[in-house]
Amino acid sequence: MKKYKVGYTTGVFDLFHIGHLNILKKAKEQCEYLIVGVSTDELVQNYKNKLPVIPFEERVEIVKSIKYVDKVVAQENRDKYSAWENLQFDVMFVGDDWKGNKLFEELEHQFKSVGVDIVYFPYTQGTSSTILRKKII
């Protein structure tokens, strides 16, 4: 039996790579049902000041095709608590590069009050969409 019923994770999932696959696989190992929020192009432009290489609709299709994913939703903002209010997950999975970040420290406090855990997975060293983008250029 898996530790959690409904899990949630988010990402841009641009230039899909092994780090993306690792977090989805590890998340699914711990929950029965995995919901993945894929960031919209507009959201990425707003907080990263650049557009993804792969358009939103295509990134959604890629993530939907991964066997570990049960449902894909659009991530239109970075408000994870609001996502919880809509989706009612009992755990959120995040890369450990966010651990200690002010946003996630506040979120941990909010989630604790409603019984939601945050599980941090080790960041996959040596690969990222940013690294891939630089290699392409």
Catalytic residue among 3, 48, 99, 112: 48
Catalytic residue among 2, 5, 50, 112: 50
For tokens 């941990």, name the residue: 108
CA-nearest of 87, 11, 80 to 44 is 11
Return the H-helix or E-strand segment holding 27. Answer: helix 18-30
Contact 91, 35 (CB under 8 A): no
Give catalytic status of residue 50 as yes or no: yes
Give catalytic status of residue 67 as yes or no: no
Q: Which residues are catalytic, by number?
A: 48, 50
